[in-house]
Structure 1
Amino acid sequence: MDQRVTARPLTRIQREKQEIILEAALEVFSTHGFRGATIDQIAEAAGMSKPNLLYYFGRKEDIHKALIEQLLDTWLAPLEEMDADGDPIPEIRSYIRRKLEMARDFPRESRLFANELLQGAPRIVDLLEDRLKILVDEKAGIIQRWMDEGKLVQADPYHLIFAIWATTQHYADFDVQVRAVLGKNRGGEGRFEDAARFLEQLFMHGLKPKQK
């Protein structure tokens, strides 16, 4: 007889409670970092008692892990969508656009991820070395093939991906600085479209093969 116990699926109310906790924790972690965040802060932000919160998540680490796993699903989606059979220039242009849209729409998630990396990624290093590396290896291989076929100029595909990450996520992680420097006339929502046009020009000009 199989003695394994299958966990009961969560009820709708339990799922809603977990989402409330995770939303509150995202705000707390992205503001204070993992070390500065406390269960009491998260419970207060979620509008529930500490014992009630601990019923759903036993430790701060469990909440943080759940957030990071959700974040990776969101964060990796734009790179996953890069189509090996597509036209390289539009594919990379679309990737830049999607990454900027994420900087615009998910600034707290970006800060959460950046905070974790700045601490040496002690809680997610396995995910970086496994899931992230596998995906980047795959897409770098696609970009290298495009280069070998003469559709893009030769360059290091890994550092191309890193450069896109750095330039697009800047608009989330350093948004206060961006808005301050651009000023009130240029620091509104249009800054993301301005950034998209500039980055497309920067990367596309550097990647297009010269006409023979």
Structure 2
Amino acid sequence: MSVAKEKRSRIRAAIRDGALREFARNGLAGTSTRAIADAAGITKAQLHYYISSKEDLYQEVLSFIFSEWRALFFISSAQDDPETAIRAYITRKLRHAVEHPEFSRLFVNEMARGAPEMNEHWPKLKAATEEASAVIRNWIDEGKIAPVDPLLFQINMWAVTQHYAEYEQQSRVLFNVGPDQPLDMSRINDEVTQLFLMRCGLLKAELVT
């Protein structure tokens, strides 16, 4: 990659990341291009050189979020045994929620206003969810896990793991953790993992310590 292309790539990434933070904090309507430029460390004129509109940039950020989530979180392979797959999924999801809370916060803000910008993204989400449901149904059919509703099992895992991004301040208050202290992710990960492994019959309640 040439020096010029590398520079453009860095600026585009800075714009995307800055926009993600601003949209997560203030929503589409409440975010100005000036704020995005400041967050990206560039001038407003430079920003408008790289984007066609704030709305198009918002769509780009949504696409980036779903691309990241698709790569990291959807159960898309039956190669791992269920316990290994579920444990790994929960660990990745919790870590990402805590390290990158802006992903979940932007998504929740979009849902709260009726998801008007989601039309082109729903098919990708549904396809990935249906793919994961097929894997879970296969585990059930092969007797590897107890019967569960594959769709609700996924939705419930999303809800529990994303809680620590969407309700971070509540978690800090209840855990008595200050703003500069980390949450006890080992404790959280163990509890969430046990919850879902027990639900699908991979962990007996009396054996949990």
The interval holding the TM-score normalised by the smaller chain is 0.7 to 0.9
Instruction: List, as ranges, runs of 4+ consecutive aligned residues in structure 1 with deviation greater than 4 Å.
Output: none
What is the letter of the counterpart of residue 60 of structure 1? Answer: K
Residue 56 of structure 1, aligned match among 44, 50, 60: 50
Residue 157 of structure 1, aligned match among 150, 155, 163: 150
Secondary structure, in 3 states, of the residue corresponding to 1:196? helix
* 1:181 to partner: Cα distance: 1.1
In structure 2, stretches of 5+ residues that fail to align are 205-209
Return the alpha-carbon distance in structure 2 between the equivalents of residues 115 and 62 of structure 1.
Answer: 17
In structure 1, stretches of 5+ residues that fail to align are 1-9
* 1:81 to partner: Cα distance: 5.5
Range that drifts further, 164-173 or 95-104: 95-104
* 1:179 to partner: Cα distance: 0.5
Q: For residues 6-37 of structure 1, give each alpha carbon's deviation from its aligned partner in whole angstroms, at most 9, with x where no partner exists.
A: xxxx7222222212222221221111011111
* 1:199 to partner: Cα distance: 0.8
Residue 22 of structure 1, aligned match among 16, 20, 32: 16
CA contact (8 A) 1:150 1:209 kept: no
Equivalent residues in 2 for 1:19-168 (5 A)?
A: 19-80=13-74, 82-128=76-122, 130-168=123-161
CA contact (8 A) 2:105 2:166 kept: yes
What is the letter of the counterpart of residue 113 of structure 1? Answer: F
Secondary structure, in 3 states, of the residue corresponding to 2:146? coil
Aligned positions, number: 200
Provide the alpha-carbon RMSD of the alignment.
2.1
CA contact (8 A) 1:136 1:158 kept: yes
What is the letter of the counterpart of residue 95 of structure 2? Answer: E
Aligned match of 2:171: 178
Q: For residues 139-165 of structure 1, give each alpha carbon's deviation from its aligned partner in whole angstroms, at most 9, with x where no partner exists.
A: 101101111222111111100000000
Q: For residues 79-102 of structure 1, give each alpha carbon's deviation from its aligned partner in whole angstroms, at most 9, with x where no partner exists.
A: 345431221122112111111111
CA contact (8 A) 1:82 1:91 kept: no
Task: Label 1:209 to 1:201 Cα distance change in 2 as closer, same or farther (>3 A).
Answer: closer
Please tell me whether Structure 1 or Structure 2 has the larger radius of gyration of its CA atoms. Answer: 1
Secondary structure, in 3 states, of the residue corresponding to 1:11? helix
1:206 equivalent in alignment to 2:199: yes
Return the alpha-carbon distance in structure 2 between the equivalents of residues 205 and 95 of structure 1.
Answer: 15
CA contact (8 A) 2:93 2:162 kept: yes
CA contact (8 A) 2:110 2:116 kept: yes
Return the alpha-carbon distance in structure 1 between the equivalents of residues 33 and 27 of structure 2.
Answer: 13
What is the letter of the counterpart of residue 175 of structure 1? Answer: E
CA contact (8 A) 2:197 2:203 kept: no
TM-score when normalising by structure 2: 0.87
TM-score when normalising by structure 1: 0.86
